[in-house]
Amino acid sequence: MRQLARVVVALAAGVAALSVAGPAHAQQLSELFRKVSPSVVLVRTVERGVSPEPSAGLTTIPGLGSGVLISADGKIMTAAHVVQTADKVGVQFQDGKIYPAHVVASSLRADVALLQLDQFPIALAPARLGNSDSLDVGDEVIVIGAPYGLGHSLTVGHISGRIASGGIVSGAPMELIQTDAAINMGNSGGPMFNMNGEVVGIVSRILTQSGGFEGLGFAIPSNVAQRVLLTARSFWSGIDFVMLQDTLAQVFNVPQPAGLLVQQVAAGSPGAQLGVRAGAVRMQVGTQQVLGGGDIVLGVGGIDITPNGASLEQIQNYLSGLRAGDSIRVNVLRGGKIVKLAGPLRAR
């Protein structure tokens, strides 16, 4: 009986501890959200794309993502796929006001981009960038963003894994952070915070069969984002493309092992200034839907496109080393002929 009594007392103490820990943890999350939420923004874009209606041709398409303010002079990190081909970018703060911005650095391979506000509120509350290398599987994290347009929405989860992608970006290995914190459309580019309120990741993508969140979300580590955007200052071309190699290269009559089929080009971007042409016709190639009719990039700065993206890192390094006034040289396949494009890089 005494042993049973001790067990009952122990169980009661455990339940009491849990009842105290629950509200305490919720209070910690609430305080953390209030602390970091002012640094989180909605990223609204406008770009041109091919209308679903064949007769409509090109049309204006609005886009939505998330981002995080990282400096008092108006720099914002987001996902590259949110802004890569945007004609216009607006950043919406917690007060609902939208301020114009432009892209200053971007890496499609790392899926991170850096925006600069052209105008911004007098009082800014930038977030602190943390050391993503210190993350361990099981660590608790929060994600704040705009899933389906619901601004400043909080989800909570853990680090589920750290995945090496096998690629090299800005001279170092590429890595992804896996999390079970809920991520949906509109979260892309938003921050992942540790429990100290530091940004440790930029939300990138999910793995899904239903189209919604299924427990497999991925973020780009903050250390990768800093290296790619702040140290290397990865060149933003304003171009989105599809790699053509093997059978696809043969289908499009590419006169070398690989090329980049241009999909979209942002207005006013270096790609647009050079005269690179975007695709305008929807095509089904095997299981892949692409936009045809645009240029196929064969080489940049004397560096040929090679299969499996092996030359893309070299090309990115070349472009990132250019300064305003330097000449950009791009060879494209257009209408079955090789066309050489060249022009000075303009300051942004």
Strands 258-265 and 98-107: unpaired
* CA atoms of 94 and 89, how far apart (whole Å): 17
Q: Which residue spans of the chain are classified as CATH 2.40.10.10? A: 38-117, 128-231
317 is written with which tokens? 């390094």
User: Annotated active-site positions, please?
Assistant: 81, 111, 188
Q: How confident is the model at residue 250 (pLDDT cuts 50, 70, 90)?
A: very high
Integer Cα distance of 25 and 313 in angstroms? 44
Categorize the per-residue pLDDT at 54 as very low, low, confident or very high, splitting at 50, 70 and 90: low
Tell the CATH superfamily of the 128-231 domain: Trypsin-like serine proteases (2.40.10.10)
Helix (H, G, I), strand (E, B) or coil at 241: strand
Choose between 18 and 103: higher pLDDT: 103
State residue 172's pLDDT score.
75
Average pLDDT over residues 316-337: 94
pLDDT of residue 11: 45
Q: Is 299 exposed, middle or buried (0-12, 13-18, 19+ CB in 10 A)?
A: buried
40/31 Cα distance (integer angstroms): 15
- Residue 1 pLDDT > 80, yes or no? no
**pLDDT at residue 169, as a whole number:** 81
Residue 120 has pLDDT above 90, yes or no: no
pLDDT higher than 50, residue 179: yes
Query: CA distances (Å), 209 to each of 40, 177, 212, 253, in order?
Result: 29, 20, 8, 34
Question: In this predicted model, which residue has the larger pLDDT, 27 or 342?
Answer: 342
At residue 3, the pLDDT reads 55
Please tell me the pTM assigned to this model: 0.89
Which CATH architecture describes the domain 239-344?
Roll (2.30)
Residue 142: predicted pLDDT: 97
Four-CA torsion 64, 183, 130, 162, nearest 10 degrees: -130
The pairing of strands 128-129 and 198-206 is parallel
**Per-residue pLDDT at 112:** 97
Q: How far is CA 197 from CA 36, 66, 131, 194, in A?
A: 6, 17, 12, 6
Q: Which segments of the chain belong to CATH 2.30.42.10?
A: 239-344
**3-class secondary structure, 330:** strand
CA-CA-CA-CA dihedral for 189, 195, 197, 203, to nearest 10: 0
Decide if pLDDT at 76 tops 80: yes
Question: Is 221 in contact with 213 (CB distance < 8 Å)?
Answer: no
Contacts 24+ apart (CB under 8 A), 339-345: 339/295, 341/274, 341/275, 341/276, 342/274, 343/273, 343/274, 343/275, 345/270
Residue 130 has pLDDT above 50, yes or no: yes
Band the pLDDT of 56: cuts 50, 70, 90.
low
Query: In angstroms, rounded to a whole number, what is the distance separating the alpha carbons of residues 247 and 255?
Result: 13
pLDDT of 291 strictly over 80: yes
Task: Band the pLDDT of 7: cuts 50, 70, 90.
Answer: very low
* pLDDT over threshold 80, residue 168: no
Model confidence pLDDT, tens digit, residues 297-309: 999 999 999 998 8
Helix (H, G, I), strand (E, B) or coil at 114: strand
Can you tell me the mean pLDDT for 264-274?
96
Which residues have C-beta within 8 Å of that of residue 239, sequence separation ≥ 6? 84, 85, 262, 264, 265, 266, 269, 271, 276, 297
Share the mean pLDDT of the chain. Answer: 90
For residue 58, pLDDT over 90 is answered with no
Please state the rounded mean pLDDT for residues 56-74.
Answer: 89
CATH class of 38-117: mainly beta
Is the pLDDT at 15 greater than 60? The verdict is: no
The pairing of strands 303-304 and 327-334 is: unpaired
User: Position of tokens 């999910």?
Assistant: 206
